[in-house]
Structure 1
Amino acid sequence: MVHERRRLLPTLMAVVLGVAFLAATLMMSATIKSSIVSQTSASVDGADAVVAADASTTVPASAVSQMRARPGVSAVEPAISTTLQRSDRASVIEAHITPALDHGSTLVSGRMPRGAGEVAVNPLAADSGVKIGQKISLSGFSEGAGARRLTVVGVIDPGPRVSPNNDQQVYLDAATLMSLRGEQGYDTVYVTGSGGQDAVTSAIKSVPELAAEGITVRTADQQRQVLADNALAGSSAMTGFMTAFAMIALTVGAIVIVNTFGILVAQRAGSLALARCVGATKAQVRRSVLADALEVGLAGSVIGVAVGAGLAQLVVSVAGNSTNVLLDRWVSVSVASVAIPLAAGTLVTLLAALPPARRATRVPPVAALSPVVAEPTRRVGRARLATGVALFVLGAALLAWAATGADSMAPALLAGITGGLMNFAGVLVLAVVLIPRLARAIGRAAGRIGGMPAELAAENAQRNPGRAAATVSALLVGVTLIVMTAVGAATGQSTIDATLDKQFPFDASVSTGSQPAGPAMVQAIDRTQGVAAAGAVPQAQLSLESSGRSTTVTAQGYGPQVRSAFRDTTPLNGLDDRHALIQAPGVASGDKVTLSTGGRSVTLSAVVPEGADTSLNSATLTTATLTKVAPGAQAHLVLVRYADGTASADVTSALTTALAPYPSANLSSASDQRDQLEQIITIMMVLVIGLLAISVIIALVGVANTLGLSVLERTREIGLLRALGLTRRQIRAMFGHEAVQESVAAIIVGLVLGSAYGIAGAYALLGSEGLAAMHVAIPWLQLAGVTVIALAAGWVASVIPGRRAARISPAVALAGE
């Protein structure tokens, strides 16, 4: 009995791992939700009513004055939350009006801003190097908003009515902030009064200006619910993402459970047959197997929930202060986060144990008197083959349509997921044909090196194709998913990088406003550490004449130095000393255009870029051509390319320091977007591969289990081989070759399928969003790592079964026990 329970340990491990990740996912989701709800509730605490404006409008200052005058209203606190450009650092920063200290805000150091030229920052901004007394430049994104140089006078730890995100923030007076963002009015107004929430809400609703479209008046409780719903909208996607991989771990675990109980039934064949001889019914035999499954399922699920809670708490403790959501200190454990994993783990274990339980009922009573050896079969049913082929073809068709035919993301994702599941289900059904044949082909090649053990291993895969497919089915799932993730992420990143190169062909630009960018400034930029190339772009207003029509255009000159700053020179295709890129009304490619100013002129052939906006009235010339027409043209723009392999943030910081002597210079970096994208993809890859590694660990248990079953089924065969002269070392080698050959077959199928799924997924996600120029990228180094690890894992899984087989005595085996 103890020996049988020890045999169930792999099943217990599979259940624990799958349930642990499901429980951790649900608990993390509950923690995130409770944290968001508590934060949003805190922002409304102390208020009885809230006036909120949507993105299309603001709450007028005059309405705020009228609210203060309403009977029963004791306090009105307006708020603004927006984003400004910090032009002295080439970065965006959150901006709020100076927070009230009586609502949780704390003055850390310095003092509060007192005038239009002063600003305070939060501790994160202070930690980034902003010091009291320093001047920073802030500008808005609206046309004509201008820029302001403000003096930092204090550091404020903001209360809950200011954005709780872990971002750098600045606080300044309302008038200056409205001027910078180019829009008058407030975003939100918190109102406090007497008589309860309904009374205060009714009182301020009488203000006529609050009836305008886009302005909503709610009670504090209603506002809490709205904020919570909005904040939780994005968390469901992450929860679904994590839950999907937890379910994958459970699914791979189910494969292991089927194999484990198959071993148990094979081991107990004699005792089950004896029970049948003394009167046990088939139902009683089935119940005995399912009782073991229930016991293991419940025990594994309980342990898995405990492990999941610990894992979730570890994540909260380690990552709680590094996310944009300030997580609660302790993980939230809800009834659902415990009940669902318990039920899922137990149910999956029972369902996975049903096939072995049915096989147990087929053990004949005569097996108690004389061992009945299950004869392996080479036959594969036609119905199974037809089903597998149908699933594979239909799934492939759906995947192809999702990748190339869908015109929006939602149907592309739905078709892609459905097609992928169907296609992979077809592959699993056909694995009974694919894996043995691939293993045999591999075994033939290996036989030249591995000798007799390798040849016997190849033959074993053919003798029992069902067992060969079951041996590596879990490994096939893990390899396919990891490769799919790696290839999909690499293709997505390559495609988005190429798109960014076209949209932002240079890494950064320095504009100087009304002041020209002189040679000294360009030289300072070019010598900055991390800068690969920099070129000034001269500019002049020219008169353009074409087909009897005259218009004024802004002409820019692009010389060799400027071209070297481009990562993608496609936007400059067609530009040379005899051609100009023209975006002006009435001009078509091939037209002759004359550009002139100050008595000088030049006639060129027009090249109109595809999709050009003719309202821009712009002309792009070579620097040499522009100099002929306007020799005094000055540069107000410098384009910059960062050196490959450098950190964009470091180069941007170095450029900021280099431009300090030039107060009119405004640095804007597009490279930061690329860095942020790479960080997101890296985090996603680490998370996904970490989760999928669990499925691979479970898969190893499955390989070992199935090989263990093989030892039981082939006891007499192994004894005969020993009697014919095979040594123990050769028996161990035979099992090692068998595991490796079947693992190689699974890896080949997984590499092909995973790559196809990853590419199709990237096309479905990005192609449906209009990124037609897809760039397929194969991360060869990562795929090589997956291959080596999977091969090593397959061999390691064969060690224990191989040793067990090597210990079989020829005499005992031939005696038939």
Structure 2
Amino acid sequence: MSRPFSAFRANAREHRASILVAALSSAFGVALLSSTGVLAAYIAQDDVAAHGSVTVALNVVAVIFFIIAVYVGAIVTTNTFATIIAGRTRTIALLRLIGSSAQAQRRSVAGEGLTVGLIGSLLGGAIAATLALAAVRVFVALRVLPDLLYPVITPALLAPLVVVVLTTWLASWVGGRRVLTVTPVQALGAAEERPPAALRRSRGRTVVASALILVGAALLAFGLLLGLDVFATPVLQQYHSYGVLVALPGGVLSFTGIILAAPLFMPSILRGVGLLFGHGTATRLAAANAVRNPERSSRTTIGLVIGVTLITMFVVAAQSYLQMIQEAQSNEPELYAGVTPVVTVTMIVFSVMIGFSAVIAAVGVINNLSLSVLQRRRELGLLRALGFTAQQVKRMILAESAQLTVSAVLTGLVLGTVYGWIGAQSLLGSIPGGGLLVPALPWPFLALVAVAAAVLAVVASIAPTRRATALSPVAALAVE
């Protein structure tokens, strides 16, 4: 443990955001299990528990939210470690030059991830458990909840901590795979991303990404149809309540495939959007950068795509869930008498999860954008040496942030709407009085998400851009 910790300590500043993501993921899981236990106890003391479909749905939601929290945390961590490794290319190459192996360097990176996971999960879990216990006491004192024995602190709360540690370690291992491609000769040059031609020749990436997207889409479709109870086969009809459990891995697989394929299609989207911002030198160079460095541009953009997709998915799922329950109540009022309190509490849980998702996404976006700009100090120094002014460099970064925001928001809104709607329909599509409904889109909230994403992207690039342009061109070119 001492060797991983020493590697972590040497690079502690780079891991602050990763620790925060691990802490948030752990807190997400602990808070979810605690709130689900409280909600179950609350429902059990009322006749509402007799409504089997709603009760099953609430139990399934707990599992789904936890899986989503862990998955998103792992994706954000993988993206962050990939960005960190891209900036360490020369350092890793120097270590290779003096005899260190690529596998040893990758194990060192994975050790850093294990330490990040341990620190983050323990911190987040302890804070969430304390806050959950305090919140229940406050709600009971205010008579929002009846005075019952609520299972807030249970051994089950250790599960999120263990899962977050393991997934953070795995994410650092996956994110550090670029270490294997670093050669000792790269110690003589700057950190470079792979050129577009190398990515296009990567048939393995294309095949794997296509397979994940196709299999994921098939599972999403099957989960949706199963949740709507459209199959005449008796064997399938008895599992209609679990359509969401089929759709969930479909969403995970398809979105993983989209992330894996991002360097193949996202740069072209970025360039097309960038050309809409005018034909000035800075804006044209910003548009060209997306294609010139496809891995860097897609890695930076996909962080914002993850955030917008996640928040949109939860918002659309919550609104669709509410709409479907209300529709079922209007069609079968006697069957759903007394469900309103459960729906209210469930919507509160949805709101808390949306808040957690927004924070996790924001941390990932800010960290990746900041690291990306700071790692380009040599590039920015070269532009300054060629005659670019500091203001032109700032305009270029701003243009890149703008094209990133537009591309990510559009992509995330589409993906989030699809995933959220399928999730709600596969969960409640077959309840009595329910059925197939169009997606419930809360446009004011989605507009707020778009504006927040734009502000976040711009603000995240301001400070590192100022630091990068404050260096003289000669000093910037000398940065390792």
* TM-score class normalised by the smaller sequence: 0.7 to 0.9
Within 5 Å, give how 1:154-169 maps onto structure 2: none
Q: Is 2:185 the counterpart of 1:373?
A: no
Does the 8 A contact of 1:256 with 1:705 survive in 2?
A: no
Q: Is 2:349 the counterpart of 1:687?
A: yes
Instruction: Name the structure with the higher helix share.
Output: 2
1:215-235 deviation digits (Å, cap 9, x = unpaired): xxxxxxxxxxxxxx9999998
1:36-94 deviation digits (Å, cap 9, x = unpaired): 9xx9xxxxxxxxxxxxxxxxxxxxxxxxxxxxxxxxxxxxxxxxxxxxxxxxxxxxxxx
| Alignment CA distance shift 1:235-1:26 (3 Å) | farther
Within 5 Å, give how 1:32-47 maps onto structure 2: none
| Alignment CA distance shift 1:724-1:266 (3 Å) | same
Report the AA paired with residue 257 of structure 1.
T
| Alignment CA distance shift 1:746-1:715 (3 Å) | same
- 1:785 corresponding residue in structure 2: 448
Q: Is 2:296 the counterpart of 1:478?
A: no
Does the 8 A contact of 2:110 with 2:170 survive in 1?
A: no
Report the AA paired with residue 484 of structure 1.
M
Q: Which has the larger radius of gyration?
A: 1
Instruction: Return the match for 2:76 from 249, 252, 256.
Output: 256
* Identity rate, percent: 36
- 1:311 corresponding residue in structure 2: 131
Does the 8 A contact of 1:254 with 1:348 survive in 2?
A: yes
Instruction: Return the match for 1:723 from 354, 374, 385.
Output: 385
CA distance in 2, matches of 1:277, 1:252: 36
CA distance in 2, matches of 1:773, 1:254: 33
Q: Is 2:123 the counterpart of 1:461?
A: no
- 2:233 corresponding residue in structure 1: none
Does the 8 A contact of 1:476 with 1:746 survive in 2?
A: yes
Q: CA deviation at 1:296?
A: 1.9
CA distance in 2, matches of 1:232, 1:680: 13
| Alignment CA distance shift 1:19-1:243 (3 Å) | farther
CA distance in 1, matches of 2:151, 2:247: 38
Q: CA deviation at 1:372?
A: 4.2
- 2:161 corresponding residue in structure 1: 342
- 1:18 corresponding residue in structure 2: 25
Report the AA paired with residue 61 of structure 2.
F
Q: CA deviation at 1:748?
A: 0.9
- 1:433 corresponding residue in structure 2: 264
Report the AA paired with residue 17 of structure 2.
P
Does the 8 A contact of 2:86 with 2:191 survive in 1?
A: no
Does the 8 A contact of 1:31 with 1:332 survive in 2?
A: no
SS at match of 1:351: helix
Which deviates the most, 280-289 or 454-463? 280-289
| Alignment CA distance shift 1:685-1:727 (3 Å) | farther
Instruction: Return the match for 1:422 from 248, 253, 264.
Output: 253
Which deviates the most, 760-769 or 736-745? 760-769
Does the 8 A contact of 1:259 with 1:705 survive in 2?
A: no
Report the AA paired with residue 260 of structure 1.
T
Within 5 Å, give how 1:585-734 maps onto structure 2: 677=340, 681=343, 683-711=345-373, 713-734=375-396
Instruction: Return the match for 1:751 from 409, 413, 417.
Output: 413
| Alignment CA distance shift 1:808-1:264 (3 Å) | same
| Alignment CA distance shift 1:782-1:674 (3 Å) | farther
Within 5 Å, give how 1:285-434 maps onto structure 2: 285-320=105-140, 322=143, 326-328=147-149, 331-334=152-155, 336-338=156-158, 340-368=159-187, 370-378=188-196, 379-380=199-200, 381-404=202-225, 406-407=229-230, 408=237, 409-410=240-241, 412-434=243-265
CA distance in 2, matches of 1:453, 1:14: 34
SS at match of 1:684: helix
| Alignment CA distance shift 1:16-1:412 (3 Å) | closer
1:611-664 deviation digits (Å, cap 9, x = unpaired): xxxxxxxxxxxxxxxxxxxxxxxxxxxxxxxxxxxxxxxxxxxxxxxxxxxxxx
Q: CA deviation at 1:444?
A: 0.9
SS at match of 1:781: helix
Does the 8 A contact of 1:165 with 1:326 survive in 2?
A: no
1:575-600 deviation digits (Å, cap 9, x = unpaired): xxxxxxxxxxxxxxxxxxxxxxxxxx
Q: Is 2:477 the counterpart of 1:811?
A: no
SS at match of 1:726: coil
CA distance in 2, matches of 1:26, 1:266: 37
CA distance in 2, matches of 1:697, 1:739: 20
Higher relative contact order (CA 8 A, sep 6+): 2
CA distance in 1, matches of 2:324, 2:125: 40
Does the 8 A contact of 2:90 with 2:191 survive in 1?
A: no
Q: CA deviation at 1:13?
A: 0.7
Q: Runs of 5+ in structure 2 lacking a partner? A: 1-6, 231-236
- 1:137 corresponding residue in structure 2: none
Does the 8 A contact of 2:117 with 2:165 survive in 1?
A: yes
| Alignment CA distance shift 1:358-1:757 (3 Å) | closer
| Alignment CA distance shift 1:231-1:301 (3 Å) | farther
CA distance in 2, matches of 1:365, 1:282: 10
Within 5 Å, give how 1:194-273 maps onto structure 2: 238=58, 240-273=60-93
Does the 8 A contact of 1:262 with 1:709 survive in 2?
A: no
Q: CA deviation at 1:11?
A: 1.0
Does the 8 A contact of 1:494 with 1:775 survive in 2?
A: no
CA distance in 1, matches of 2:66, 2:246: 22
CA distance in 2, matches of 1:720, 1:741: 23
Q: CA deviation at 1:464?
A: 2.3
Does the 8 A contact of 1:301 with 1:345 survive in 2?
A: yes
Q: CA deviation at 1:266?
A: 4.4
Does the 8 A contact of 1:254 with 1:349 survive in 2?
A: yes
Which deviates the most, 389-398 or 733-742? 389-398
- 1:118 corresponding residue in structure 2: none
| Alignment CA distance shift 1:251-1:419 (3 Å) | closer
CA distance in 2, matches of 1:232, 1:500: 15
1:774-794 deviation digits (Å, cap 9, x = unpaired): 355432222212211222222
SS at match of 2:474: helix
Q: CA deviation at 1:7?
A: 1.5
RMSD: 3.9
Q: CA deviation at 1:404?
A: 4.9
Does the 8 A contact of 2:193 with 2:295 survive in 1?
A: no
Q: CA deviation at 1:303?
A: 1.0
| Alignment CA distance shift 1:330-1:383 (3 Å) | closer
Q: Is 2:404 the counterpart of 1:742?
A: yes
| Alignment CA distance shift 1:809-1:249 (3 Å) | farther
CA distance in 2, matches of 1:680, 1:402: 25
SS at match of 1:768: coil
CA distance in 2, matches of 1:415, 1:279: 48
CA distance in 2, matches of 1:273, 1:775: 54
| Alignment CA distance shift 1:740-1:396 (3 Å) | same
Instruction: Return the match for 2:274 from 443, 458, 467.
Output: 443
SS at match of 1:8: helix
CA distance in 2, matches of 1:808, 1:3: 24
Q: CA deviation at 1:767?
A: 4.3
CA distance in 2, matches of 1:346, 1:498: 42
Report the AA paired with residue 381 of structure 2.
G
Q: CA deviation at 1:676?
A: 5.8
| Alignment CA distance shift 1:808-1:29 (3 Å) | same
| Alignment CA distance shift 1:498-1:232 (3 Å) | closer
Q: Runs of 5+ in structure 1 lacking a partner? A: 40-162, 168-228, 505-669
